[in-house]
Homo-oligomer: A and B are copies of this chain.
Amino acid sequence: MSLTYFTPGPAQLYPTFENHLQTFVSGQLGSISHRSQQYRDLHKFTVDQLRMLLRVPQTHAILFLGSASEVWERVLLSCVELESFHLVNGSFSKKFYDYSNALNKYAHKLEKPMGQGFTAEEIEVPQYAELICVTHNETSSGVQMPVSEIHKLKEKNPNKFIAVDMVSSAPYPELDFRIIDTAFFSVQKSFGLPAGLGVWIVSEKCLQKAEYIRNQYSIGAHNDLPTLWKNAQSNETPATPNVMGIYLLGKIAEDFNRIGVGVMRRETEQKAALIYEFIKNADGFSSFVKEKASQSQTVVVADTISPSADIIKKLKEKGMVVGSGYGQYKSSQLRIANFPATSIEEVESLIYELGKF
């Protein structure tokens, strides 16, 4: 039986994935040299499609790494000489903070319990912090930080860098890259692809900072920003890249552009509204995230009265896979991904089945 994955990553693969994969295989693209014009054209196609999709200006490069976790490290090495600042309200924002400590930076944080969000107004960035690390969508708790709040936070702190983790939400957040210095995501969430590729959008100002830091501290050797940037100018990568992932991402981004990112964002909101409406009204379910503005549009977290494992098991019998809660909430929550790969009809079917509990 074919299953529909409503899991927050790895997730349901996008419906066009198999066709694109077939084209990749029949074109023998897995064998082409990453120093050939054929590769450079493929690479440029993906960059161009992402640039269009996310409205990334020419001041920013779009770079390919092994995973978004790798990007955490490279952002910190490139933009932080001494001190970073982190908004922490779940496992993934916490890991970004942990990375900074592991790199021997001085990491400040403003921490809130899981399920709670941040507004720009309440945030005081420490004086010497060079980089503000924001998680647009905390995959562990289903909390989003509204894009308007992220923009306000940067406007309040124009002389500090801001990095936006949009791993489990891109291309949903409409970030304004005229003010956002760097952001990143991975492909196994909203883009509906197998894992193994991270995408890093990063400004020339970050590059300059990395070049400055390099005079005194190591900014890493593998995929260091100046080398990535230089190679990106000719649509290449320093090391042999995940050509298959980059190709598939370009094709999916092209599909998204055909639909139009505005339409996709509205569909995301429409499907999210259905799920939130259901858990608000149904006996046995409630939204973990109480503040409406903080409710994620791409990962909905529901508290359950029945053990969530029972619900997950029953749903699987119906061909649907949803995620369990994260960490301490494993048995008392469901995490339901709302990515483009699952249609409104599939979301309605899920709600129908959930309604039986």
Contact = CB atoms under 8 A, between A and B. Distances in A.
A220 B102 contact: yes
A241 B28 CA distance: 24
Given A28-B2, A67-B66, A196 B243 contact: yes
Contacts of A333: none
A225 to B, nearest CB: 12
Contacts of A244: 194-196
Contact of A221 (B99, B197, B218): B99
Interface stretch (A11-19, A144-152, A295-303): A11-19
B240 A186 contact: yes
Top 9 closest pairs, chain A to chain B, by CB: A66-B66, A196-B242, A69-B239, A30-B194, A99-B221, A102-B221, A73-B222, A5-B31, A194-B244
Interface in A1-57: 2-3, 5, 7, 9-13, 17-18, 21, 25, 28, 30-34
Contacts of A70: 66, 70, 222-223, 239
Interface size class of A (residues with CB under 8 A): 35 or more
A346 interface: no
A275 interface: no
A33 B7 contact: yes
Interface of A: 2-3, 5, 7, 9-13, 17-18, 21, 25, 28, 30-34, 65-70, 72-73, 76, 98-100, 102-104, 186, 188, 193-197, 217-224, 238-245, 321, 323
9 contacts: A3-B31, A11-B31, A17-B30, A30-B194, A30-B195, A67-B222, A98-B221, A99-B222, A195-B240
